Structure 1
């Protein structure tokens, strides 16, 4: 609650009603001095965001340890005692992604180099010997119809072939110029489909401009930066699947939406706790006791994230345990596959937009 001094003027600045005490009896606005210091602005922002008078901590406690309790309380009309679902989600999302931006995740250099080496070895195979003996290829190399750069690229393929027709994505090309030359002048067996060529050319452009570490760091930064947008896309579909599986007469889509907001707020909050604990563990520099505690909290948190949906679904929708269990399992797999599909699509979109 604001501690700003009351205005001497008893006329409400919002509705011009006469204000006898601290709050306007007509619109409820507080009749205090509107000129604020930065300190007051910051405190007002935090109090407004968290509904500070114990509502914040009460909300967090129920969200973490009482599945579906917040949703039932909100829909029953008890709304002033807790944070509003949208405000709760925005606040947790803001804090989570702010901390991730401040303390970003980095890929280990050694693991990056190892992964790159293993991928190249797995995807590399020799071009058939017939290509070396192909008269058309030899004639092409001896002709003046192609540039010296293209000739060099083709000779590199012949002397050190690293392509395979077995996979869509291939890691054996040395440069974009080499890939373009193969696609333009190579034999029919070595040319890629239009889609495969587009993907491989994009990958090669990224490899030419970035090291493995730089590419993965850029990918992680862009992916995490835009992840809140993906979650906003996922949530309406999550609520829609709940609506499909439950009585349309008893439950409105709005009810499923509130349940979804609370559930995703819980997931982000658990992720935030695990993230903070992990960063604290790093500060202790590999202390075995701290590492054990961090691993234990991470395991418990991960299990609770997985299990939480089942009691939340049962308690909120009030169905028998058997019916609720089978519905929960079905919904869990449907939503998991849908979310995985969206995340993979988003990851692919993020990757092809790396510069």
Structure 2
């Protein structure tokens, strides 16, 4: 069977959607593809990767043209749309791919607490390393100096423990470990200085392993001097209706509950934040197109033309971020202590970051064809405004991720 016969074998004689007799690969009545993915595994795979493979290579041609500043935007605005992927579709493909890879490659590192030093009996519980916790009595040459430093340290630790907000219990536990460690290390230093000193016969104020006196923990949020509680002591905004106040207090309570989770597992929070960035870009891109419309209102271009420029510019920025993530992933394979092997990674990342504003300026110059001085002024103004919007968007994303994690 020839290739054409094989193609005909998987084609229906009539469109499955509207039953119009088919004369080619697409229905001329409704436009549905004649290929039925249920009749061919190859076409089923093509359905999954439709954005890439059913475009007859347009995605690769589009990405290649996108690398030249302004060339793709000018071609699309001039009416050469068939050879390239539509701007919105390209932006969706690149942005989703970019931030998917970013979630896999960008890590802020694990948050680890110092391992405690061994006690006299060889165990390692309830203490922290002197050099990492700041507890060190080695400089004291008299027992009186050790006792004075011990008491001052204990006073500060107990005061700090009392000020730990509710929801930061893991911080309180670390302070308690240092309280026990302070007494143990002070006792060991006294033994070194004067093994028979009378203070060694006295019990510690806070015996190791024994629970410390319970104290009320300060709340992260206080209303009228009392701990915030969504039910018994909520935040009340007079000009908001009751349902809005209930919603606000629910989110505030959720944010307070998430503090220890985010503090102990910040990478989870960052991953969630990165995953929400594409949604924010769908808002920022049309706003940026509006800024272009205002900046170049004398060109009499319609808003959708500026939107094309905004979509292609953001698609390129996402592409650069994707390259940065891939470089970072490769750099993670290099041992962290090897400075010289890290230099190529840093150089490549710096080159990409330096090229991004140059590309955007060059693109703006080529598309709008104004004198470079006017282009530079508008580029700086637009860049400043967009930077402020971006900071606000990131802050809003961080806030919403925090209260919804």
Whole-angstrom distance in 2 between the partners of 1:244 and 1:110: 50
Instruction: Pick from 97, 100, 107 the counterpart of residue 98 of structure 1.
Output: 100
- Change in Cα spacing, 1:329 to 1:101, as seen in structure 2 (3 Å) is closer
Q: Secondary structure at the match of 2:83?
A: coil
Q: Does 1:225 align with 2:275?
A: yes
Q: Does 1:341 align with 2:344?
A: no
C-alpha contact (below 8 Å) 2:59/2:85 kept by paired residues: yes
C-alpha contact (below 8 Å) 1:243/1:256 kept by paired residues: yes
Q: Secondary structure at the match of 1:178?
A: coil
C-alpha contact (below 8 Å) 1:173/1:204 kept by paired residues: no
- Greater radius of gyration (CA): 2
Within-5 A mapping of 1:120-139: none
Q: Does 1:36 align with 2:39?
A: yes
Q: Deviations over 1:29-65 (max 9, x none)?
A: 554555334442122432444554332222112212x
Q: Normalized per residue, which structure has more helix?
A: 1
- Change in Cα spacing, 1:237 to 1:157, as seen in structure 2 (3 Å) is farther
- Equivalences, count: 293
Instruction: Pick from 60, 63, 77 the counterpart of residue 66 of structure 2.
Output: 63
- Change in Cα spacing, 1:37 to 1:341, as seen in structure 2 (3 Å) is same
Structure 2, unpaired ranges of 5+: 115-133, 135-154, 168-215, 227-234, 237-248
Whole-angstrom distance in 2 between the partners of 1:11 and 1:204: 61
Aligned residue for 2:327? 277
Q: Does 1:321 align with 2:372?
A: yes
C-alpha contact (below 8 Å) 2:293/2:303 kept by paired residues: yes
Q: Secondary structure at the match of 2:297?
A: coil
Whole-angstrom distance in 2 between the partners of 1:83 and 1:3: 30
Q: Deviations over 1:192-225 (max 9, x none)?
A: xx79xx9998776444x437341x1232022112
C-alpha contact (below 8 Å) 1:223/1:347 kept by paired residues: yes
Q: Secondary structure at the match of 1:346?
A: helix
Q: Deviations over 1:46-85 (max 9, x none)?
A: 2444554332222112212x11111111111111111111
Q: Does 1:294 align with 2:345?
A: yes
C-alpha contact (below 8 Å) 2:276/2:397 kept by paired residues: no
**Cα RMSD over matched residues?**
3.9
TM-score, length of structure 1 as denominator length: 0.69
TM-score, length of structure 2 as denominator length: 0.61
Whole-angstrom distance in 1 between the partners of 2:49 and 2:307: 25
